[in-house]
Amino acid sequence: MKIKKGDIIVIAVVLIISALLYGFKLLPAAGGERLLKVELNGQVIDEIPFNDESDEEIVVTFPAGEAIVEIVAGRVRVLPMPREICPLAICSSVGWVEQSGDAIVCLPNRLVLTVVGGPTDELWDSLDGVTK
């Protein structure tokens, strides 16, 4: 199979667009105060304000145990939990989230952590989390 000139142009355009989108994702989060929305079993249990200077740990208690949520320098993560509480540990392997709209989900414990706020939140406020 021969690669034609048109194929090379399409591949180049796709690679350039991919690089630009990846570059935007690497940009630092917008400054300003944001909120960490903590939901358990579909109900908001807390909204914690944080910014680039925040440094704290929050303990979220649920029936199977508890999760420790770490906020450092404007970023959020869930610390690893025992396998009995979170068998696959996907929520702790997500790593740091910091931009408006980023989320960490722990399905076995029905825990959802979502970053909201900051100057770039206008887009996320206009979107619905449930598709009808």
Output the tens digit of pLDDT for each of the chain's 132 residues: 788 898 999 999 999 999 988 877 666 555 567 889 999 998 999 998 988 888 899 999 988 889 999 999 889 999 999 999 888 989 889 999 988 888 999 998 999 999 987 654 455 555 555 554
Query: Does 107 reside within a domain?
Result: yes
How many structural domains are present in the chain?
1
Query: Does 50 reside within a domain?
Result: yes
What pLDDT is recorded for position 72?
Answer: 92
Domain of 43: which CATH number? Answer: 2.60.320.10
What pLDDT is recorded for position 2?
Answer: 85
Q: Looking at this protein, which amino acid is placed at residue 105? A: V
Query: Does 7 reside within a domain?
Result: no
Contact 36, 71 (CB under 8 A): yes
Q: Looking at this protein, which amino acid is placed at residue 125? A: D
Contact 78, 94 (CB under 8 A): yes
Query: Does 5 reside within a domain?
Result: no
What pLDDT is recorded for position 31?
Answer: 55
SS3 (DSSP) at 5: helix
* Residue 50: domain span: 34-126
What pLDDT is recorded for position 103?
Answer: 92
